[in-house]
Chains A and B, each alone.
Chain A
C-alpha cells in the first residue's frame, strides 16, 4: 500500500485532471477562454454537499445531481454569454464566478463565510480513478467525433466555421455544459474528500490555477491536460521538499510560468498533439532507420 501522503496526492491529481479536461474542452478545443471554471466546481461541490448533509441522499447520486446542477448552470450562463467575443467572454465568466462566490458567501444554506461543514468522507481512490477514466473516455470520444471537429473548427476560425454551416453557439454551449458537468463532478469529489467547503477556495485564483494546468499541458491536447494537471499538482509538493523557498512563492512561480510559456512555447508541453505509445514505438523505429508506415512524422 502507498502511504497516506501519496494517496492524498493521487486523489488531488485525479480531481485536477477532471477539472483540466473540462476546461481544455472549452478553452483548448473550442477556443473560448473561460476564467470561471472554479465556479462550476464550487456549484458541484456545494450542491452535492448540501444534498448529502441536509437531505441524506447517498453520495453517488448526490455527486451526479451536483454535476447536473453545474451543467445546467453552465447552460444558463453559456447561452447568453457565449455570443460574446473572446475577451468579453473571459471577463463575463470571471464576473459570473465572482458573483457566485459572493452568493455562496451570503447564503444561509452554504454556511456563509464559515463554510459548509459536516460532510462525510465518501471520496476514495477508486471513485476518483473511475471518474477520471470516465471523463477521459467521454472527452476523448467527443473530440474525435463530428462534434469535436466542429469545436476545433470554431477555435480555428469562428467566422469561417459559421460560413461552413456549423451552429457555433450550439457547439460552444455544448462544450461549456460538458466542461461544467465534469467541473461539478470534481467539485463533489473535492467536497467529500476534504469534508469542508469554503467560498474562498473557489475564487478567481483557483480558476487561474486550472487554466495554468491546461496551458502548461498544451491547449487542445487531452493527454496534455493530464500531464499539466499532474505536473502542477505534484510540483508544489516536490518543490516543498527540495526547494522550500520556491514552494512558498508558488503563485509567483505560476505567474512567471504563464508569461515564459507564452513567450517561449505558447503551445505548452504537448502542443495540440497527443501522446500514444504506438507513436513512440514508430518514432524509435524510424530513428533506427527502419521504415514504418504510420505515425512516423511525430
Chain B
C-alpha cells in the first residue's frame, strides 16, 4: 500500500506540474491550451539533447530546457492565439488543436518516430526505507516538483508579476485600465506554464528512460484532467488534482489490469464533470448575459 502511495505521489507530482500550465493559461485566457502536451514533449527533447549531445551539466541543461520551452510556448501564443483574442472561443480552441498537431508532427519530422533512451546523467541509487522501495531519481523528481510548485506559489502571491497575473485573470479590461500590460502578462503566463511543463517532460523522460514525439499526447490530456479535477484556473487545485489523479491511477492499475490505465483518468474526469464541473477547489461561476 505504502509502496503504491509513493509511486502515486511521484506520478502525481508530474501530472501536477503539467496541470499548472493548463490552469494558468485557462486562468488568464479561458482557453484549453491543447499544445501544452507538445511543450512538455519539446522540453523532454531539449533536455535530452542538452545533456546527452552537448554534455552540459544537468542543472544547467534542466534550466535551459525550461527556458527553451518557455520560448516555444510564448511563440505559440503569439502566432496562434494572440491574433484571435477577439474571435469566438471555438476558433481559438480549434487553432490550439491545430498547433498541437503541428508541433507533434514537426517533432516527428525533426526527431524521427523512434523512441530515444534518456539515461539520467547522474548516478541513481536505489533507496529502501522499511517496506518501501524507491530510488534517488524518484526523490529528485519529488523534490524538484515541490520546489517548482513552492516557487510558483511565491511568484503568484508575493511578486508584482504575480499580482498582475491575478488581476489579469480576474478581469482583463480592468487590469488594462490599471496600467497592466495584459499582452505581456499573458506572455509571462505562457512562459511560466511552458517551463513547468518542460520540467515535467525532462523528469519523465529520465524516469521512463524514453523520449518520443508522441509522448505529449496522453500526459497532456491527463494534465488537463488533473487541472479540471482540482478546479480549472485554480493553482493549488491543479497541484491537488495532479496528486489525486496520479495516486488514483496507480491504485487503479494495482486493482485492475494495466490495459485499462488510460481509461481510469478519463472515467474520473467524466465523473467529476458530472458531479462538480468546477472541480474540487473551484468556485461555481454562473454564466452571465
Chain A residues within 8 Å of B, Cβ to Cβ: 27, 31, 33, 35, 80-81, 84-88, 90-92, 94-96, 98-99, 102-103, 105-106, 158-160, 204-205, 208, 211, 215, 219, 249, 251-252, 254-259, 261-263, 266
Contacts and interface: CB of A to CB of B under 8 A. Distances in A.
Contacts of B183: none
A50 to B, nearest CB: 20
Given A92-B270, A95-B225, A106-B257, A262 B92 contact: yes
Contacts of A95: 221, 225, 265-267, 269-270
Nearest to A209: B101
Contact of B266 (A33, A99, A251, A258): A99
Q: Which of B101, B105, B106 has the most CB of A within 10 A?
A: B101
B274 A257 contact: no
Q: Tell me the dominant secondary structure on chain B's binding face.
A: helix
Interface string B62-89: 0000000000000000011001100111
Contacts of A258: 94-95, 97-99, 101
Contacts of B91: 262, 266
A81 B270 contact: yes
A158 B289 CA distance: 10
25 contacts: A27-B90, A35-B97, A80-B274, A81-B273, A86-B90, A88-B228, A88-B277, A95-B266, A96-B270, A98-B262, A98-B263, A99-B263, A102-B262, A102-B263, A103-B263, A106-B257, A249-B105, A251-B105, A254-B98, A258-B95, A258-B97, A261-B94, A262-B95, A263-B84, A266-B88
B32 interface: yes
A102 B87 contact: no
A98 B221 contact: yes
Contacts of B94: 33, 211, 215, 258, 261-262
Given A98-B262, A102-B260, A160-B289, A255 B105 contact: yes
B102 interface: yes
A99 B104 CA distance: 22
A255 B100 contact: yes
B269 A106 contact: no
Interface in B244-286: 257, 259-260, 262-263, 265-267, 269-270, 273-274, 277
B287 interface: yes
Complex A-B, nearest 3 residue pairs according to Cβ-Cβ distance, in ascending order: A258-B98, A255-B102, A255-B101
